[in-house]
Structure 1
């Protein structure tokens, strides 16, 4: 690695000082992306905001409505099932008692409290039924969400005042609890926990003020509410369910005197679901009672899990959809000979990918940035065979880059693709002028996942509501949470092929689940590992991190530079100096193409402090429009988990006008604070799926506990030409790369898939 490039010391920019606040861990950043689902918002406000627009409903609102309709469809399917399948009929002891309790809950009875004394489950699967396609949702037909009535807000404000809670929460409470929110709060003050940002101790204080002597820690209303709150916090950390012992321990830590009864009440009231899943044996296969040598009276190894209904049903529906793809015969578009000729025209892992897709409905593809040439070759070959083939990326920047790669691979994309590839503030691809002059061809078959699901991008839907395509390649597959993956899978027509492609070493999804990792571990379909390594010193560095090694690499062109710092103030100063002066002058990359990445939003060197310092140097101004000025670099989060980079254009009565990847977006002024941040500095979760010419990764001393191998791999891997590391964590960086893997997530997908896959 090189030392710091030649620098010119200038006047130190204003360096705001942060307190001891540390939102450093990416798990906290991931929590921000899920705030609307969790009931707790990290400092700085929620990111669940409707995308702007006047007149018609925006893409973001349409997407949210489509997701809600899909969840309702899943719930209706669950409710329509006559009875659970007769699984576990040979159970005995605790497992048999648990199965009886599950069925009792499903019939409306309360389970026996003693059942929850020990863990232990077995597969609880719903009977399969014909897949019903989600219907397309027209953005213009989706009613805009209505704000709570002023009278309802005023009634809630009065109750909050009586309980000593901030009256400013009234609009959020009224929206979260719906009609009669004031009466519901009086009857059950702990319902306040359903509001974003409220914690159990705050709800306890509110309840004491309202209930007086009637309030106690053993109140069953409190136990129920805290149970649901803990499950929401688990979803923030990526879990789709919690094992019973972990949930009971967390309830005890929160001062619930009888955790068993609290969980029992939450299940009986339908606020949580309980599952029994067979534990895996040494060979990795689920335990089965009918295995040879298993006696009928032998108790099977099982585990008990508790989860929120929305994630549980989504995971079950995802397993159904994936099994449909694996067990079905792909539509015969192009003969076997045609596919073989297309594969023979390539080589290595590209040929393997084409042959796998020719014969299977679901294929997994793994690799780094260089491996994207293989999905590009697949789409090009599929087009020549007459398939309606599309790709979907996690971010708009990823969409632009892959569209350019498709053109270079020979895909007949015309001017529409060139327009998509023209990113403000970024250099055009080398072949852009040539492509623009080419004869008009088909539009670039690349969309974002969000745009594909909302209908704003992509091929549209057929009469049955399925996506009008034959092959879908989803890039950045590790970013798929369980609900998004469910929507995609359920949207595919019969006979379609699905390829999930991505780098398994990057950070997992912001939302709950680990879909791509679970599928890789389950081995239910072909897996093609690319043999194309990322080139150059940056590729060598990132590849080493992926296997737990932080190597010294030769960087003759200053591709990698380490900038040691002693404290937070120096870290901010050096970061600004690199972006504004050193990297443009020594590397030739302008500030507009340089991205800063830091572990969290808060702290002395978080995104807030860095963005303030960078704005002072790059676009100083009074922040006339909610803290923003025309020309400010921003990141817009229209819905949880999405980050759209852009720039401020202007502001007027409609709201804040942004240009995001060439698209005009208007954010209503009441949504600006929640959904728009300055974007010179991002977290790694906000940056995943995108790449920039130069990246400055900032590692202040207080970030050591936030670092992990996936975080470092993701942050360092966002750079195309140059990486500067502002290094203040000493040996903690090497230790994180070598010793801190991704935090485990509790999911049910592998267990749900096992009985559905044909042998």
Structure 2
């Protein structure tokens, strides 16, 4: 077979599908609606729908001299401040979170337990009526928010705490290397807490219930009973954490109890009730929408409650995601209801400065506090034009993207420059490293915030952004709804589109060229043959995973540079998972040996290695290794120097010639090689294929070994559903 890239017409058959998946990330999430997935997420990114970087656990390195606050630390600290503000906002509410109507039986008992924790009263065995409606507020005056305290950097656990945990781990036969993580998760009294409740070991990412059970048996001996409530609660929380890794903000009660049964919990209902009573989770009741039914309306004050009960579902979730989702819905309603009229003249000027689809977008933003904009890569010209017109009209406008690459591409469009004033990243804005800064009340000094790559917003990041906007500001969420959802919990953009609570502007600007035509077809479920006279699209059939790796290395190092003119350092490889014979690990090993061979003296890395750096959960930044010394591994990421301490390298840095689609989303490269080995057939879906193929700008090679599984996935396999509450919350707070 020639080493030159073949044209589309030369595609031949691949090999039959073989069972298994590339990394096993998504398959296990089927238990209990995403619970029961593998033991924790991979630090630099697994390609399941949950969010590959969640397992990084905040790992990240400093990017300056000792004593300075790193980007990752500043970002995490800023997120903590925002979460505290969200919690304060929720604490001011007089009534607990709830929606829907009456319940009875076990569901009512569970809700009574959580109400007892919230109110301090004894639970009562009665049904729950819908709370009295809150009056809708008409365009309130700006609320003066308390200014957040300066971000504090989380200190590492004290050495004596770590040593105390190390002794308990050794006594129970667990790896002593887990001591720093346990100490960070359990606090100063971590050793005593772990000895008292060995199943607290499940708070550490990557630990499975069977491993915690073995640790508990060794530590407790005869004192461990078969129906220990400590185990039941710990496993319940662990399942909810696994669900969050799979993208859910909550689980339906029957799903959770079924999963508990599979984890050998003798009485799942009692386990859930105990977890709620201890305040380790929250329960909710949400009214179900009947097909074709109108959105539920709040009754007028004094109106009698309908005799006919609406069907409801009972959900259980972790507090942090429940508060974030509630705060997000509340903040979006605030923006919709507090539209400022003071800048009408400026918005009229902005609308007159643009034409076409951009003019339609500007007019919608002028009259609404929240607007959704959908479209593919070429459609980014419209929010760029909106940004330029708003700034030219004297409005304080700023746009953020998911990745530094997205920021760079946006600044190259008309209207978006200059970059230092108008465009940044979501992480940079939240950490304070980018953007306009905050006023004396802690709100961003903005009249307009445009968020591109909006499908990548998880519920916590979205809540922090919305909470940071002042009353009267306008928010535009723009993105391609066909790409993979966020790495973290939630499906914010999809939920907003489905809720239909604000204007939605669909771009009519198509992506150009053969790749744009191919990807557009995939978006509607069609894998079309397209003409590629300039070898823009090439299909490379392979028989097995070994041949897939061989051909991939050949394409990156030789064929694409020679035939297409794209050098190896501008080509990325995308594969479904990290594990397997053709996963990122195998591909990166083979590519390093060919492209940048070396001894890997610092944690397997050498100067010149391409890497994927995870500074915080849910984020992947591509970069290059510069050097290594006593400080750690020196990287260049998005033209910025980063130093990753030695102890964090293993958890935060991967080789980056080959990525998963979740790691690659939000960025584009001149050339992309998508690897589809036979064992990846079960993991393919339309969003995955759409995202992977859409990362290519000039050239796309498909190393094809899944035969008919590819067109079948494009035609039939949609994104795996996520359980969220945002749609329900929005329908009760925002007028239709």
The TM-score with structure 1 as length reference comes to 0.87
> Is there any run of 5+ residues in structure 2 with no aligned partner, and where?
8-18, 30-36
For 2:131 and 2:718, how far apart are their aligned partners in 1?
29
- The aligned residue for residue 13 of structure 2 is none
The answer (yes or no) to whether the contact 1:35–1:196 under 8 Å persists in 2 is no
Partner of 1:621: 598
Residue in 2 that maps onto 1:369: 377
Please point out which of 311, 321, 328 is paired with 1:301: 311
2:709 counterpart of 1:727: no
1:222-241 residue pairs with structure 2 within 5 A? 222-241=231-250
Is 1:59 the counterpart of 2:71? The answer is yes
Partner of residue 73, structure 1: 85
Matching residue of 2:359: 351
Q: Conserved in 2, the CA contact under 8 Å of 1:478 and 1:507?
A: yes
Cα distance between partner residues in 1 of 2:620 and 2:185: 24
Task: Tell me the equivalent position of 2:218.
Answer: 209
Flag structure 1 segments of 5+ consecutive residues without an equivalent: 8-18, 418-442
Q: What's 2:5 paired with?
A: 5
Residue range with higher mean Cα deviation, 229-238 or 211-220: 211-220
Q: 1:379 to 1:297 in 2, by over 3 A?
A: closer
The alpha-carbon deviation at position 212 of structure 1 amounts to 2.0
Shift of the alpha carbon at 1:654? 1.7
| Cα contact 1:47–1:639 (8 A) shared by 2 | yes
Alpha-carbon distance change, 647 to 110 in structure 1, aligned in 2, over 3 angstroms: farther
Residues 32 and 47, structure 1, Cα contact 8 Å, conserved in 2:
no
Instruction: Give 1:355-754 correspondences, 5 Å limit.
Output: 355-405=363-413, 409-410=414-415, 413=418, 417=419, 443-754=420-731
CA 1:85–1:112: 2 relative to 1, 3 Å: closer
Aligned to 2:32: none
Bigger mean CA offset, 458-467 vs 344-353: 344-353
Tell me how far apart the structure 2 counterparts of residues 693 and 298 of structure 1 sit (CA, whole Å). Answer: 59
- Note closer, same or farther for the CA distance 1:33–1:743 as it changes in structure 2 (3 Å cut): farther
Match of 2:10 in 1: none
- After the TM superposition, which residues 137-156 of structure 1 pair with which residues of structure 2 at under 5 Å, given as runs? 142-143=152-153, 145-156=154-165
In 1, Cα distance between equivalents of 2:97 and 2:281:
20
Bigger Cα displacement from structure 2, 552-561 vs 463-472: 463-472
Counterpart among 222, 233, 252 of residue 261 in structure 2 = 252
Q: Cα–Cα, structure 1 residues 102 and 300, in superposed 2: closer, same or farther, change >3 Å?
A: farther
Residue by residue, what CA displacement relative to the aligned partner does 1:535-580 show, whole Å, maximum 9, x if unpaired? Answer: 1111111011111111111111111100000111110110011011
Q: Offset of 1:179 from its aligned partner?
A: 1.6
Alignment deviations for residues 558-608 of structure 1 (CA, whole Å, 9 cap, x no partner): 111000001111101100110111111111111111111111111111111
Q: Could you give the per-residue CA deviations for residues 140-164 of structure 1, whole angstroms, max 9, x where no partner exists? A: x633x33323332222222222222
Deviations 1:38-84 (A, max 9, x none): 9x998997363133232211121011111112222222333343444
Distance 1:217 1:708 in 2: 41
5 Å-filtered alignment, 1:4-403, equals: 5=5, 22-23=22-23, 25=25, 31-32=41-42, 46=56, 48-53=58-63, 54=65, 55-84=67-96, 100=112, 102-108=114-120, 133=145, 135=147, 142-143=152-153, 145-287=154-296, 296-333=306-343, 335=345, 339-340=347-348, 342-344=350-352, 346-403=354-411
Taking the aligned partners of 1:308 and 1:35, their CA distance within structure 2 comes to: 22
Offset at residue 652 of structure 1 (A): 1.7
Whole-angstrom CA distance in 2 between matches of 1:125 and 1:225: 36
- Answer whether contact 2:670 2:696 (CA < 8 A) is retained: yes
Provide the C-alpha distance between the structure 1 equivalents of 2:102 and 2:609, rounded to a whole number of angstroms: 65
Residue 135 of structure 1 deviates from its aligned partner by 3.8
Cα pair distance change 1:164/1:385, threshold 3 Å? same
Instruction: Kindly tell me the number of residue pairs found equivalent between the two proteins.
Output: 705
Matched-pair contact (CA < 8 Å) for 1:482–1:514: yes
Q: Would the alpha carbon gap of residues 656 and 136 (structure 1) be closer, same or farther in structure 2, given more than 3 Å must change?
A: farther
Given that 2:109 and 2:125 are in contact with CA atoms closer than 8 Å, whether structure 1 keeps it comes out as no
**CA distance in 1: counterparts of 2:324 and 2:406, whole angstroms:** 26
Q: Any idea what the Cα deviations from partners look like across 1:701-759, whole Å, max 9, x if unmatched?
A: 11111111100000000000100000011111111111110011111111111121146
Give, in whole Å, the separation in 2 of the partners of 1:52 and 1:608. 26
Cα distance change of structure 1 residues 342 and 75 upon mapping to structure 2, 3 Å threshold:
closer
Counterpart Cα distance in 2 of 1:233 and 1:35: 15
1:44, 1:231 → 2: CA distance? 14
Contact preservation (8 Å) 1:121, 1:304: no
Residues 33 and 511 of structure 1 are in contact (CA less than 8 Å); yes or no, is this contact kept in structure 2?
A: no
Q: 1:702/1:47 Cα in 2 relative to 1: closer, same or farther (>3 Å)?
A: farther
Superposition CA RMSD, Å: 3.2
* 3-state SS, counterpart of residue 643 of structure 2: strand
1:11 aligned residue: none
Residue aligned with 1:250, SS: helix
TM (norm. structure 2) is 0.89
Measured in 2, the distance between the counterparts of 1:673 and 1:125 equals 51
Measure, in 2, the Cα distance between the counterparts of 1:715 and 1:673. Answer: 26
Deviates more, 1:92-101 or 1:645-654: 92-101
Contact 1:634 1:678 in 2 (8 A): yes
Contact kept in structure 2, 1:626 and 1:672, CA below 8 Å: yes
Residues 31, 237 of structure 1: 8 Å contact kept: no
String of CA shifts for 1:381-420, please: whole Å, max 9, x gaps. Answer: 1122111111100000110110011xxx25563xxx4xxx
Following TM superposition, by how much is the alpha carbon of 1:348 offset from its aligned partner in structure 2, in angstroms? 3.3
Matched position secondary structure for 1:608: helix
Distance verdict in 2 for CA 1:674–1:128, change over 3 Å: farther
Work out the CA distance in 1 between the residues paired with 2:97 and 2:431: 34
